[in-house]
Amino acid sequence: MEPRRLDKHLLIVLLLLASAGAAVGLSGCGSSNGFMGQSPKNYTITVTATSGSVQKTSTVNLNLQ
């Protein structure tokens, strides 16, 4: 094979391997166990804003699936 043709084939093989790796990595999405078999987690985040002597607090629920 010519060197340029070999480089082109190598590039195609590397792109296919990278695509296959991405497909395997994303295959956990949409399952009931969360990404890559991890269980979903819930977090409560408290956000506090202060301006001078005025202070406001709010809570936000974060659900990671």
Question: How do residues 7-60 score in pLDDT, each as one tens digit?
Answer: 888 888 888 888 887 777 666 555 555 556 677 789 999 999 998 899 999 999
Report DSSP state, residue 52.
Answer: T
**Closest by Cα among 48, 51, 47 to 60:** 47
Q: At residue 2, does pLDDT exceed 80?
A: no
Q: What is the pLDDT of residue 40?
A: 79
Q: State the pTM of this model.
A: 0.39
CB 63 within 8 A of CB 40: yes
Report DSSP state, residue 15.
Answer: H
Q: Locate the domains of the chain by residue range.
A: 1-29
Q: What is the pLDDT of residue 57?
A: 92
